[in-house]
Amino acid sequence: MQLFVNDLTVMDFSYLCPERGMVGESWIVDVILSGDLNEESMVLDFGKVKKQLKHLIDEYIDHKLLVPVEHAYSRIEHDEKHDRVTVDFMRPSGKSIHLNCPAEAYAFVYSQNVTMPSVSDYLKDVIATHLPENVAGIELNLRAEVINTPFYHYTHGLKKHDGNCQRIAHGHRSKVVVFENQLESIKWQEYWAKRWCDIYIGSNEDIVDIKETLFSSLYSDPSLHHVFAYESSQGRFELAIPKVESEMIATDTTVECLAQFMADEHKRMNSNSSFKVLAFEGVGKGAIAFA
């Protein structure tokens, strides 16, 4: 007997990619459980599937940075005493990425690349240890939202957030809708899809001198990187990321601030027009701004 739940949850996270750098993603999760019926004549109660499995997925993937452990670029150092991990992703041509964060900010995927199959295998191993004896198998279908208009991938961190959004490297795959003078503009949506293709969006106030981090001895030309650090309730987060793969803004990087940033940018470029921007944060949620 099989039990299925579609749209169980959405995982918002980022991962390290040799070619693209730090990539923000939003994947929808469908699940199928196989097994015998229990004493309640069920494979597993739907309420438990939705609550327990969603909790596990959120705990092990959501709002984390996924690191491909077996890739040649990955260098990982665990500080067990302080429960911290340093990750150096040694991409060439000045595009290396460096992090020093609490251990809970990462998920370590034992493969050469972070893909839907490798993440599915990682999650199935985690979930299998928490299932009752009558459940013999689990299938996960990870999929991206079907978006027929332009979209972008971005990564950020929200130091003022009480929850997991404070992690400095988590992200989203996001749709954007722009109206100019009340007419939807594919041209401007394509503009943002290109400008924010695999981008890290940072706040100016989080920039620090590299000497304040653990990264000062890692590379000889820090001018190629933006260096961020901040303290939040989960601990200290540090990140060095290539400037060519970043966008700096003067405010926090909440979706509300990003929507207003985009609207203001349009107004700056086209002062005679009015603009309305719907900036999504992953799937089915976001903010609206006007300029």
10 Å CB burial of residue 222 (0-12, 13-18, 19+) is middle
Q: What is the rounded distance in angstroms from the CA atom of residue 246 to the CA atom of residue 285?
A: 23
pLDDT at 90 over 80: yes
Mean pLDDT across 283-290: 97
pLDDT by residue (tens digit) across 155-203? Answer: 999 999 999 999 999 999 999 999 999 999 999 999 999 999 999 999 9
pLDDT by residue (tens digit) across 143-154? Answer: 999 999 999 999
Beta strands of the chain (E only): which ranges? 2-17, 21-35, 65-68, 74-79, 84-89, 97-102, 106-109, 135-144, 151-156, 170-180, 183-184, 199-203, 225-232, 235-242, 246-249, 275-280, 286-290
Mean pLDDT across 59-77: 97
Instruction: Count how many Cα atoms sit within 13 Å of the Cα of residue 73 in the half-sphere of its side chain.
Output: 19
